[in-house]
Structure 1
Amino acid sequence: MTEFTPIASTLGGVLIGFSAVLLMAWEGRIAGISGIAGRLLPPYLDGAFLSRLGFVLGLVVAPVIYSVATGQAVLQSVSSNLPLIAVAGLLVGFGSVYGNGCTSGHGVCGLSRLSPRSLVATLTFIATAFATVLVVRHIVGA
């Protein structure tokens, strides 16, 4: 079970929302991580490459900065089952391409713009997540 952290969770949500607003204001782009990360590879090497790289590096470096600043490790519970992780990664990648976006693009940015397509996508993400947890934890037992 994870800890109940309403203050930290609220601050994290505010920072995510603020960064999405800044990206929209400065770049005119939606903060969809799958689209930003996917455009780091050719043929998308254009003038916005450095801003996309900076955004993704910020995602990687932020936990390190937090750990250094607080002296606490950022703990993540990740399965040691490599085939399971590989299949999950492929399914997430396929879902992002098939759904024209990811949870950050649809769930954070799309819902805030009242996009019907993003509402359907986000409800699909949530339903799939519930089903996956049910199957993996209670049927497969991983």
Structure 2
Amino acid sequence: MIESLFPNGIAHYLVGGLFIGLGVATLFALTGRQGGASTFFSACWSWLIKTPFFQQGAFLGSRNWRLVYSIGFVLGGLLYLALGLPQAASQMPAWKLAVGGLLIGYGGRLGGGCTSGHGICGMASLNLGSISVVLTFMATGFATALLLKAMGWGV
């Protein structure tokens, strides 16, 4: 059963999970803050976009270290490529990826953070708000996937 769910094995998932855990634990130990992709990228956008949302004190006061953290996301992907680790091309049309990205971004703002912030850091801290948001994310994702599959649009 496990082999059918993970045809390429689970070692790379375990290594990735360990690095994610090490990264957020290091961030929390050094700054006392939890990590999440949407907040990091919002803080980085504060250099370019001058609307009130992006000019909040929380973004402006922490954007230097958040930029370093965000660059780590990109460098991690580049390292993965450089090591020649397995990749699978997406069969998803570009327009679906774009619409999905916009909806995820909107949902992340609506939910007060992204799945990585709530799911990795918030739940690890036993934050009840994060637990409820992750349950909502997951339930909505399951319902949407089932609905799309029933409509014949599933992958």
- Shorter-chain TM-score: which interval? 0.7 to 0.9
Residues 1:81 and 1:66: Cα distance change in structure 2 (over 3 Å): closer
CA contact (8 A) 1:20 1:109 kept: yes
- Could you state the TM-score of these two structures normalised by the residue count of structure 1? 0.83
| Partner of residue 87 from structure 1, selected from 99, 105, 115 | 99
Distance 1:140 1:60 in 2: 35
Matches within 5 A, 1:27-42: 27-42=31-46
Task: Give per-residue Cα distances to partners, 1:100-119, cap 9 Å, x unaligned.
Answer: 11111111111111111111
Matches within 5 A, 1:1-142: 3-42=7-46, 43=55, 46=60, 48-69=62-83, 71-72=84-85, 74-77=87-90, 79-82=92-95, 84-141=96-153
Moved segments of 4+, more than 6 Å: none
Q: How many residues align?
A: 140
Distance 1:75 1:11 in 2: 18
Residues 1:141 and 1:46: Cα distance change in structure 2 (over 3 Å): closer
Residues 1:141 and 1:2: Cα distance change in structure 2 (over 3 Å): farther
Q: Which runs of 5+ in 1 are unaligned?
A: none
Q: Which runs of 5+ in 2 are unaligned?
A: 47-54
Q: Quote the offset at 1:88 in angstroms.
A: 1.6
Residues 1:62 and 1:32: Cα distance change in structure 2 (over 3 Å): same
Q: Percent identity?
A: 33
Distance 1:122 1:78 in 2: 27
Q: CA RMSD in A?
A: 2.3
